[in-house]
Chains A and B, each alone.
Chain A
Amino acid sequence: MVVGAGGVAVGTEQRVTAAAHRPSRREAARGLLVSAAALALAPAVADSGPARPAGDFRGGAFDETYRGRRIRGSWVPDPAGPEAGGAWRIAVDGRPLHLMRRADGTWLSMLDHYTSYPTPLAATRAAVDQIGPRQRLRAPAPGPDGGEHTGGHTHMGGRHGVPA
C-alpha cells in the first residue's frame, strides 16, 4: 500500500511507503513489554471479577490442556532488570500467542482484540475458543536477523515487504 503523505488536506504528490513509517523492531516488540512504570499506574479493577492486588500477574504461570490444546504461560522478567518490567510468554500448542495489557490491568490477545480478560490465563483460554478445528496459530515469522522476534511473539508482520 502506498500511504500518501499530506494527501487529505494538501493533495501533494509526495508519497511515502508504509514501510518507511513501519514501527521499528524495537517498537514492534514493545507490544509485549510492559514497563514497570505502566504497571504501577494500572489501577486494581473493581468490577472485573475478584479484586486482585496490583502486580500479581507475575505469579500465575500455567501449563494445562484446554479444549484439547496445550496452553502454557509464564512471566519472563526483562533481562535489563526489574525496573524494565517483563513480558508474559504464552504458547498454544507450542506456538506463541501475543497478549496485550490494558490500563485497567486486564489482558487482550491477538485473537480476541476487542474484549479484555482479568488474567493472562483467561485471555489465553478465550483465544483458544476462537481457534477453529484443524487450525493453529500462525508460526512466528523469522526476525530480520534470522532469529525469532524479541520475546518470541508472533507479530505476524515479519514479511514486511512493500510492493514496488
Chain B
Amino acid sequence: MAYLRKNVRTLTAGERRRFVDALLTVKRRGEYDEFVRLHIDYYTADGEDGLRAAHMAPSFLPWHRRFLLELERALRRVDSSVTVPYWDWTRDRTTASVPWTRDLLGGDGRRPDRQVMTGPFAYAAGHWTLREGVTDAAFLTRDLGGSDDHLELPTGGELRRALDDPVYDAWPWNSTVRHGFRNKLEGWGSGTGSASWHNHNRVHRWVGGAMLGGASVNDPVFWLHHAFVDLQWHRWQSAHRDGRYLPEGPPGAGDEQHGRVVARHDRLPPWDETPDQLEDVSRIYRYA
C-alpha cells in the first residue's frame, strides 16, 4: 500500500511534531550523520575522473530519489506514520513561510555567524549538533535569501521551462548540457553569478549556510527540497508519456563519458537498483 508524501504546508500540528521527532531520533541514534557522509562521498564533479552518480549527471534524479527513500525508511522505523514532506518553493517563497516556522525547521540564521536560533534544529535546543561539516561550526547555519545578494527563489515559470523539455537528458550528460529536463532542473548554468543558478541549485544557494556546502544534508530542509525535486520527475513523466531515463545504454569506449555516467540499466551506487527500477515508485509512495 503506497504511502503519501504531502506538501509541508498542509501538515497538521501533530504531523509536524511527529516528522520533527522522527528526525531528532534518527539524529540521536547516529544514523543521520551517515546520510551526511554518504552525500559528501558521492559528490564527484564532471571535470574530474570517475563515475558521477549523484550530481552533474543523468542519475541526479534517481540517486536522490533512492537517497530520500533511505532516509524515509529510517524515519518510518521510528514512527511508521511519518513520510518526507515537500516544500514547494515556487509558492512558499519568503523567510516567514513554511518550512521556516518554529514547529518545523526553525528560521533564518542570525548575524553575523548565521547560526539558526529558533526551532527544533537550533543548536541551543540540544538535539542538533553538526558532526560532519566543512567548517568546525557545531551549529546549523542558514542565510535565507542570501542577504548579501538578495536572491529570489526560482519561479514557477523557470520550473515550467525545465518540465516542458521533452528529452530527459542529453550528451555529454553533465553540467554543461544546455537542454534536457535533468540539467534544467538540477540547474547548472553557464557563467558565474546569479544568472547561472537555476531551480535545484538556486534553492541550495537561497537557503545558504550549510545547504550551500558539501554537507548540505545537515540542514533537514535538504529532504523537503529534494522531495519537491523528486515530484518534478514524476510530473515530467506524466507530461511526456514516452519520456524515459537517458542514456539507455552506457556510453561506448570511445566516448569521453565512458564509465562516468549511470545508464538506464546500470547499477546506481551505492545501491543495487538501476535507474530503470527507480523510474516508477508508485507502489511505494505517491505525492498528494
Binds B, one of A58-66, A99-107, A142-150: A99-107
- Quick check: A111 and B113 within 8 Å, CB to CB? no
* Contact partners of B153 in chain A: CB under 8 A: none
- Quick check: A1 and B35 within 8 Å, CB to CB? yes
- Quick check: B34 and A1 within 8 Å, CB to CB? yes
Q: A22-B41, A115-B197 are in contact. Are A110 and B50 (CB under 8 A)?
A: no
- Quick check: B141 and A132 within 8 Å, CB to CB? yes
Please give the distance in Å from A18's CB to the nearest CB on chain B: 5
| Interface assignment of B132: CB less than 8 Å from any CB of chain A | yes
Q: Can you list 6 contacts pairing A with B, beta carbon distance less than 8 Å? A: A18-B38, A22-B270, A31-B45, A49-B191, A100-B43, A133-B112
- Quick check: A1 and B190 within 8 Å, CB to CB? no
* Contact partners of A103 in chain B: CB under 8 A: 45-47, 56, 172, 174-176
- Quick check: B213 and A47 within 8 Å, CB to CB? no
Per-residue CB contact flags for chain B residues 138-177 toward chain A (1 = under 8 Å, else 0) read 0001000000100000000000000000000000101110
Binds A, one of B14-22, B228-236, B241-249, B277-285: B277-285
Q: A4-B73, A138-B133 are in contact. Are A112 and B212 (CB under 8 A)?
A: yes
- Quick check: A31 and B70 within 8 Å, CB to CB? no
- Quick check: B113 and A110 within 8 Å, CB to CB? no
- Quick check: B47 and A135 within 8 Å, CB to CB? no
Per-residue CB contact flags for chain B residues 203-240 toward chain A (1 = under 8 Å, else 0) read 01100010011111000000000000000000000000
Q: What 6 A-B pairs come out closest when comparing CB atoms?
A: A101-B47, A21-B270, A1-B34, A100-B45, A132-B113, A103-B46
- Quick check: A133 and B175 within 8 Å, CB to CB? no
Using a CB–CB cutoff of 8 Å, the interface residues on chain B facing chain A are 29-31, 34-35, 37-38, 40-50, 56, 66, 69-70, 73-74, 112-115, 132-137, 141, 148, 172, 174-176, 187-188, 190-192, 196-197, 201-202, 204-205, 209, 212-216, 256, 269-273, 277-278, 281, 284
- Quick check: A130 and B270 within 8 Å, CB to CB? no
| Interface assignment of A89: CB less than 8 Å from any CB of chain B | no
SS of A interface (majority)? loop
Using a CB–CB cutoff of 8 Å, the interface residues on chain A facing chain B are 1, 3-9, 16, 18, 20-23, 27-28, 30-31, 33-35, 37-39, 41-43, 45, 47-49, 98, 100-106, 108, 110-118, 122, 129-139, 154-157, 160, 162-163
Closest chain B residue, CB of each to CB of A49 = B192
- Quick check: B190 and A48 within 8 Å, CB to CB? yes
Q: A1-B34, A8-B284, A113-B213 are in contact. Are A45 and B190 (CB under 8 A)?
A: yes
Closest chain A residue, CB of each to CB of B40 = A156
Closest chain A residue, CB of each to CB of B133 = A138
Please give the distance in Å from A45's CB to the nearest CB on chain B: 7
- The residue that A114 contacts in the complex, of B41, B112, B197, B281, with Cβ under 8 A, is B197
* Contact partners of B214 in chain A: CB under 8 A: 98, 110-111, 113, 156
Q: Measured between alpha carbons, how far is A20 from B269 in the docked complex, in Å?
A: 11
Please give the distance in Å from A153's CB to the nearest CB on chain B: 11
- Quick check: B205 and A47 within 8 Å, CB to CB? no
* Contact partners of A1 in chain B: CB under 8 A: 31, 34-35, 38, 70, 74
Please give the distance in Å from B170's CB to the nearest CB on chain A: 14
- Quick check: A137 and B45 within 8 Å, CB to CB? no
* Contact partners of B47 in chain A: CB under 8 A: 34, 38-39, 42, 100-105
- Quick check: A101 and B48 within 8 Å, CB to CB? yes
Q: Measured between alpha carbons, how far is A31 from B44 in the docked complex, in Å?
A: 6
Q: A132-B113, A132-B141 are in contact. Are A111 and B212 (CB under 8 A)?
A: yes
* Contact partners of B43 in chain A: CB under 8 A: 31, 100, 113
